[in-house]
Structure 1
Amino acid sequence: MTNTYKSRADVPDKEKWNIEDIYPSIESWEADYHFIEQMTAKLKQYDGAIHDGISLYLYLSEKEEVSSKFNLVYVYGMLQSDVDTRDTLAQSLVDRAKQLAVKLSAATSFFMPYLLSLEESTLKEYIQNEPRLQYFEKDLFEAYRYKAHVLTKENEEILSHLGEALSAPSNTYNMLNNADIKFGDVTNNEGVKVELTRGMYSKLIEDDDRNKRKEAYKAYYKPYLQLKNSIASTLAANVKTNVTLARLRNYPSALEKGLFGDMVPKEVYENLIAATKGNLAPLHRYTAIRKEKLAMEELRQYDLNVPLVNGIKMEISYDEAYETILNALAPLGEDYLGTLKIFKDGRMIDVRETPGKRSGAYNLGVYGVHPFVLLNQHDDLDSMFTMIHEFGHAMHSWYSSSHQPRISAGYSIFVAEVASTVNEVLLINYLLNKETSDEIRKHLLNHFIDQFRGTFYTQVMFAEFEKITHEMAESGKPLNVEVFNQLYESLFRQYNGDEVVFDEEVKYGWSRIPHFYRPFYVYKYATGFASAIHIAEKLLAGDETTLTAYLDFLKSGSSDYPLELLKKTGVDLTTPEPINQALKRFDALVSEFAQI
């Protein structure tokens, strides 16, 4: 059974991450904070004082040191705040770090306009005269790609001072969504009304009892409907901020600004949507199978997650899940498995849901320390898949940090979802292969189809919602509750088909998606999933060339552009082939399930 904790203090230390790995005390944190303050003032003095290779190197090396320490300062507060969003001391550390970030950004805002004022021949001369600059060479010349999008020194400084204000819509939504929202009541097994939590919802929405699903669904959406105007305001402001920044920086569109850093052509994004919209038939077929299997006259949104195989409740303890994960990832080799064992023993994982803890799950790689993985474990199949997903991210962070210098150790979000999804595909394959019970195999197949639907189709639907809302803002059209509702309802119907009967809550789905506050992020789940399907199937076939290429990919950080890194594993997303292959795989899964 899932352990339920009323307080973080009740959770065993071995199931909590140890943030003393970052700073042993608050005094150590304060020391670095004050060091950054002093160095920020020093960095500002380089404005107008960089005239040769030596001064350029000194500025860049000092800025890297300050940025590295700032990352530790911010993460230390963030990790404490995330395990209890009500903790005012932790929140004050985060707030102070954010204020420091604004000062640091303002102090260094002169540099990009300065760099782009140099002739490339002058920069080459600086590097030739100061060999230590070779460490920064790739990033320095990458900056010239942004030349058309960098403003004057004065305007860059103004924008940097506005950083905190411009992030207000996202920050406001996060506080509403994680700290302030109170869900409605549901009836527990003893017949007593209790307040719904996110963790309870994820379980109840899969319950065999339709009345429980409906009650949980209504209770979950209740605060979003109550706050619909406030949330519409934050989302509209966020979209308009993205559009305004794109215009100020001379991008053709907010979408192209969002894709520019990864050097992804907008055609990759548009082709993803077009290919998916052209292959909705298998998803509609699966929805029809769901309606038939559940023997319902009317299929509703709260019926879309209940397992279609009755009587299978897989309770999997945290320790058991960890062992299963290690077995499933055997195709990745002993070094991979040995490292993953360290995560658990080294207290790099925060396991349990507790009051005030941030919802969901994530990995945060901290260069020079180690990855930190946040979970809200519920000892079931979904929790095990969430674990192996985040471990994929964590291993990517570990490998990149171990094999790349600081400047190229961070990897693009575009490639991040590949590592996590490869792990998920390996897990479902392992579970299906070792399971002898037909009923459990059907349950696992059902689970994988639902996982595919959520990670691929749903994310493409979200990506289309983002694209359309930004285009509306760019053409001056209003964004409000009614507009968001109409668009979301239309897309939901297109993707899920006509079998679903709509409750009022369906059209408010946009209001509960935190990823909408990270512009043009969600499509990367789908491209990552398609890439992972390709890689995992070759790994399972024992392709040693792919294994070597994939481990090298994990070690590559940001040493090349994302599309180029993926090409080295055999995946070319500039062609429709990986997307089409993934969609064929989904079609085959649905056909197999239909036969059973």
Structure 2
Amino acid sequence: MTTYKTRNEVPLHEKWDLTDLYTDQEKWDEDYQHIQQIAQQLKAFDGEIHDGHSLYQFLKLNEELSFVFNKLYAYAMLSVDEDTRETKTQSLIDRAKHLSVKVSSSTSFFMPFLLSLEETTLNHYIESEKGLDYFKEDLLESFRYKAHVLSKEQEEVLSELGEALSVPGHTFGMINNADIKFGEVTNDNGERVELTRGMYSKLIEDENRDKRKEAYKAYYQPYVQLKNSIASTLSAAIKNNVTMAKIRKYPSALEKALFGDRVPKEVYENLISTTKNNIESMHKYTRLRKEKLKLDELRQYDLNVPLVSGVKQEISYDEAYGTMCKALAPLGEEYVSILKEFKEARYIDVRETPGKRSGAYNLGVYGVHPFILLNHQDDLDSLFTLAHECGHGAHSKLSSQHQPQITARYSIFVAEVASTVNEVLLINYLLNNEKNTEIRKHLLNHFIDQFKGTFFTQVMFAEFEMKTHEMAEKGMPLNVEVFNEIYETLFREYNGEDVVFDEEVKYGWSRIPHFYRPFYVYKYATGFASAIHLATKILEGDQETLESYIEFLKSGSSDYPLELLKKTGVDLTTPYPIENSLNKFNELVKELSEL
């Protein structure tokens, strides 16, 4: 395991190359000035768009601005993430954010203007100006919202209220990130120390059950203490969603959230009902866990500990990269050559260094290439993270190469498909090439737990959101008791009768930040299920699926997400892809229990 004290110690080929964006600060400053000038020009169009030609001039200029701005912002963000303590780069991101506000205000007139047009007028503009063909889909897409947009004065009032409406989420963020003080735990030297989130994620997987229990109790302590305050912020957030849906004339808060992706609410309901109808394999896994851990009572703090101990593998970065490329060979030579380019051309920042942003992400920059941030630890988790982020990276790269700027960015709805397909191909490769029974068990356990977290837990959260919003829509009260009862019932339905409940279980709702971003988590589950379905077909050698999948990666947002997936054979309006992935889960659990 290599640890670096400074960024300078990291070998050059393991650091990304930001000169692909800007060779020096002067060029960045030039673009900054350039964007300010374009913003001024755009502002001058307010009240001056009277025909197809002026509409086209505005849109063309606006696209040029967003191209340059995305590059400028990416450079600032990536520079800061290399070392978040660096004041010089912090000032870059501050300037970029300030510029972003300027840019938004210079174009804020456009949406109300567009939606004030009659459809016949807009169509006349499009027909009269050849250049508008390029923007046509986007203009008509914006028009889809016309029925949900209010008068200019009402819209102004709502935008004034924007900040007030975001208070519940902001307050929860403050409680959760700044104010919360977890209880104390005993460290390895026998001293009492305050628990941190980082410590918790390690301790909850500790083989020592007393340590897990102590961490669990300490972690939930502040949430239980603050239950009424948090219930009040969550209740307010839900009521805000419901009120906004009503004001904007959507049938429900759920349908408002699904409108952008053109997802019918049946897809959401089908995800929940199909999962519930096939929940037995999840219960089977809970029973297996109880058996393997040799426990009389399985409790919530026993649900994360790995079932196989002592198989920590050291996997260097180069070895991990080679393994990933072999594992992804079923996706074809073009795909693997893209991944090799990521490494050779330094698109990836590999190592953890003091001050570097934690976690991992992929940032696609149109007209340049993707940038991937890792904090690689030379272990199995890091190998999976690498494959995951390279899935996002390849999706960004292929979409940018094959789509014009306007449709190059893919929707969040399909974002997790490419990353998960990579992970499924990777686990498959590792299992096929591993003879050691203990390591095989460890791999299966790793993937089953990931399946559980990305799929079952998210579906449970999605059902919690649906139930609580429906209650608000009927004018029923939302408070601690109501949230507790719904959450506890769902937790039992999803995890089975083998879990013995501690008092803390029912407060699970109080620590989930995603609940302040309504009806978002279900996308993890649909993306995961779609990926399992596709990867299974690709591994069976289905050539048609492989070709349509690569086509999908090149499609960006050239169609609505459900339509893009349908072209690959995944139809989320039917139970089939969900059932198919749950069958896969069942097979994994069966194989683990046989081992």
Same fold (TM over 0.5): yes
Query: 1:512-536 CA deviation, whole Å, 9 max, x = no partner?
Result: 4333343222111111122112211
Question: For 1:8 and 1:219, how far apart are their aligned partners in 2?
Answer: 35
Query: 1:10-52 CA deviation, whole Å, 9 max, x = no partner?
Result: 6555544444543445554444444434433432332221111
**Are residues 65 and 238 of structure 1, via their aligned partners in 2, closer, same or farther at CA, if it must alter by over 3 Å?**
farther
Q: Report the equivalent of 1:349.
A: 348
Question: For 2:192 and 2:163, how far apart are their aligned partners in 1?
Answer: 41
Question: For 1:24 and 1:512, how far apart are their aligned partners in 2?
Answer: 43
Matches of residues 114-125 of structure 1 in structure 2 within 5 Å?
Answer: 114-125=113-124
Name the SS of the counterpart of 1:211 in structure 2. helix
Q: CA deviation at 1:560?
A: 0.7
Q: Report the equivalent of 1:205.
A: 204
Q: CA deviation at 1:146?
A: 1.4
Q: CA deviation at 1:204?
A: 3.5
Q: Report the equivalent of 2:501.
A: 502
Question: For 1:193 and 1:344, how far apart are their aligned partners in 2?
Answer: 44
Question: For 2:195 and 2:343, how far apart are their aligned partners in 1?
Answer: 30
Question: For 1:12 and 1:227, how far apart are their aligned partners in 2?
Answer: 47
Q: CA deviation at 1:86?
A: 6.2
Question: For 1:466 and 1:100, how far apart are their aligned partners in 2?
Answer: 36
Look up the equivalent residue of 1:392 and give its one-letter code: G
Q: Report the equivalent of 1:331.
A: 330
Farther off after superposition, 514-523 or 223-232: 223-232
Question: For 2:480 and 2:368, how far apart are their aligned partners in 1?
Answer: 44
Q: CA deviation at 1:262?
A: 0.9
CA contact (8 A) 1:515 1:522 kept: yes
Name the SS of the counterpart of 1:363 in structure 2. strand
CA contact (8 A) 1:372 1:394 kept: yes
Using the aligned pairs only, state the percent identity: 70
Q: Report the equivalent of 2:308.
A: 309
Q: Report the equivalent of 2:415.
A: 416
Question: For 1:339 and 1:560, how far apart are their aligned partners in 2?
Answer: 24
Pairing 1:443–2:431 present:
no
Q: Report the equivalent of 1:58.
A: 57
Look up the equivalent residue of 2:502 and give its one-letter code: D
**Are residues 427 and 175 of structure 1, via their aligned partners in 2, closer, same or farther at CA, if it must alter by over 3 Å?**
farther
Question: For 2:243 and 2:15, how far apart are their aligned partners in 1?
Answer: 41
Q: CA deviation at 1:394?
A: 1.4
Question: For 2:527 and 2:563, how far apart are their aligned partners in 1?
Answer: 14
CA contact (8 A) 1:77 1:94 kept: yes
Matches of residues 16-27 of structure 1 in structure 2 within 5 Å?
Answer: 16-27=15-26
CA contact (8 A) 2:448 2:589 kept: yes
Q: CA deviation at 1:553?
A: 0.3
Q: CA deviation at 1:318?
A: 2.9
Q: Report the equivalent of 1:267.
A: 266
Q: CA deviation at 1:294?
A: 0.6
Q: Report the equivalent of 1:400.
A: 399
Q: Report the equivalent of 1:320.
A: 319
**Are residues 457 and 225 of structure 1, via their aligned partners in 2, closer, same or farther at CA, if it must alter by over 3 Å?**
same
Q: Report the equivalent of 1:515.
A: 514
Question: For 2:462 and 2:77, how far apart are their aligned partners in 1?
Answer: 28
**Are residues 342 and 171 of structure 1, via their aligned partners in 2, closer, same or farther at CA, if it must alter by over 3 Å?**
farther
Name the SS of the counterpart of 1:375 in structure 2. strand
CA contact (8 A) 1:102 1:160 kept: no
Question: For 1:168 and 1:541, how far apart are their aligned partners in 2?
Answer: 50
**Are residues 589 and 169 of structure 1, via their aligned partners in 2, closer, same or farther at CA, if it must alter by over 3 Å?**
same
Q: TM-score, normalised by structure 2?
A: 0.90
Query: 1:361-392 CA deviation, whole Å, 9 max, x = no partner?
Result: 33222212222323343333223222212221
Query: 1:231-273 CA deviation, whole Å, 9 max, x = no partner?
Result: 5555445434433432332212221111111111001001111
The RMSD of aligned alpha carbons is 3.1
Q: Report the equivalent of 1:470.
A: 469
Q: CA deviation at 1:278?
A: 1.9
Farther off after superposition, 184-193 or 141-150: 184-193
Q: CA deviation at 1:440?
A: 1.9
Look up the equivalent residue of 1:582 and give its one-letter code: S
Question: For 1:442 and 1:548, how far apart are their aligned partners in 2?
Answer: 33
Name the SS of the counterpart of 1:374 in structure 2. strand
Q: CA deviation at 1:418?
A: 1.1
Matches of residues 373-388 of structure 1 in structure 2 within 5 Å?
Answer: 373-388=372-387
Look up the equivalent residue of 1:304 and give its one-letter code: L
Look up the equivalent residue of 2:549 and give its one-letter code: Y
Look up the equivalent residue of 1:462 and give its one-letter code: F
Q: CA deviation at 1:190?
A: 5.5
Q: Between Structure 1 and Structure 2, how many residues are aligned?
A: 595
**Are residues 104 and 418 of structure 1, via their aligned partners in 2, closer, same or farther at CA, if it must alter by over 3 Å?**
same
CA contact (8 A) 2:270 2:573 kept: no
Q: Report the equivalent of 1:278.
A: 277
**Are residues 350 and 453 of structure 1, via their aligned partners in 2, closer, same or farther at CA, if it must alter by over 3 Å?**
same
Q: CA deviation at 1:591?
A: 2.6
Question: For 1:54 and 1:98, how far apart are their aligned partners in 2?
Answer: 32
Name the SS of the counterpart of 2:459 in structure 1. helix
**Are residues 236 and 99 of structure 1, via their aligned partners in 2, closer, same or farther at CA, if it must alter by over 3 Å?**
farther
Look up the equivalent residue of 2:473 and give its one-letter code: E
Look up the equivalent residue of 1:348 and give its one-letter code: Y
Q: Point out where structure 2 has 5 or more consecutive residues left out of the alignment.
A: none
Q: Report the equivalent of 1:46.
A: 45
Q: CA deviation at 1:428?
A: 0.9
CA contact (8 A) 1:53 1:129 kept: yes
Farther off after superposition, 516-525 or 86-95: 86-95
Q: Report the equivalent of 2:582.
A: 583
CA contact (8 A) 1:316 1:381 kept: yes
Question: For 2:374 and 2:195, how far apart are their aligned partners in 1?
Answer: 19
Look up the equivalent residue of 1:274 and give its one-letter code: S
Question: For 1:561 and 1:497, how far apart are their aligned partners in 2?
Answer: 37
**Are residues 532 and 483 of structure 1, via their aligned partners in 2, closer, same or farther at CA, if it must alter by over 3 Å?**
same
Q: Report the equivalent of 1:291.
A: 290
Q: Report the equivalent of 1:128.
A: 127
CA contact (8 A) 1:287 1:497 kept: yes
CA contact (8 A) 1:236 1:480 kept: yes
Q: Report the equivalent of 2:529.
A: 530
Question: For 2:168 and 2:370, how far apart are their aligned partners in 1?
Answer: 28
Question: For 1:532 and 1:483, how far apart are their aligned partners in 2?
Answer: 35
